[in-house]
Amino acid sequence: MANALQFVFDPEEMAESVPVIQEEKEPVSVNENHYIIVLCLDKSGSMSITDSSLGKSRIDLVNECAKKFVNTTEISAFDKEKVDLCVITFDSSVQVEKDFAPMTIIGDDFNLKASGGTSLYTAMTIACEKARQRKNMLAAKGTPLFRPLVLVLTDGQPTDNQYRETCKKVLAERVDGKKNDLIICGFGEADMPEMNSLCNNSQLIMLRNTDAIQQVFSMLSKSIVMASQSNVSDAIHLAMNEFNNLGVTQVQNGQKVVNLNTN
């Protein structure tokens, strides 16, 4: 029986061919609710820009925030064991910097360097496929699961346009099909109207400044804590009301930008 989705490339084959820097690790606490999270991080050339009030480049700030997220004390050691984390980066190509591993052992050695283009369509496709594979592996072990979350952070416009339709089809299956959550945080020259056109059920957040990257990672930590205190086996959601004073804007209908800062 033919697959209803016709791909420019097969997502599973593409995911298997992407370079992996740190190999996948076995999950732990498999009888507890698990959180599958993929960080999809832009490291294109524009990420070398320094426009933070902290005097740090965009990529340096991402490195710092990712390290702090892994080491956060907001999340207990027990809850970290239930977080299966994967880190995917993209420039002119895509790499799996850290394949899935429990948050307790994934490591905080983030030293990403900025260069090249923005293979965003390919990266999001692979991120969704990696989440699907990990979900299937854990489900086979009988592990209760929250819906996987893919968090994308980007400052530019995609340069791998040949894979746009493939990405759109994958997101229709995984995100519009309610199998994954997708949150796209953009800043700089990120094309959020284009991101909005890819699927109907992603959460789009336009950061008003580079420093708000810190709050994105902070909200992710808080979301894990909130989910760990819930018995509802559903999605991990960023607490959007928490963004009110974080200097961010939200994209709606692809064009309209709503200022969420109430001050």
What residue segments make up the domains of the chain, in order of their start?
Answer: 11-259
3-state helix, strand, coil in the chain (%, to 5): 35, 20, 40
| pLDDT for position 63 | 98
Paired residues of 38 in beta bridges: 86, 150
Low-confidence ranges of the chain (pLDDT < 70): 1-9, 231-247, 250-263
Contact 186, 204 (CB under 8 A): yes
- pTM for the full model? 0.91
* CA 81 – CA 58 distance, rounded (Å): 29
| pLDDT for position 259 | 45
Longest pairwise C-alpha distance within the chain: 56
| Amino acid (one-letter) located at 251 | V
Q: At residue 99, what are phi and psi to the nearest 5 degrees?
A: -70, 170
| pLDDT for position 108 | 96
| pLDDT for position 57 | 97
Report the CATH architecture of 11-259.
3-Layer(aba) Sandwich (3.40)
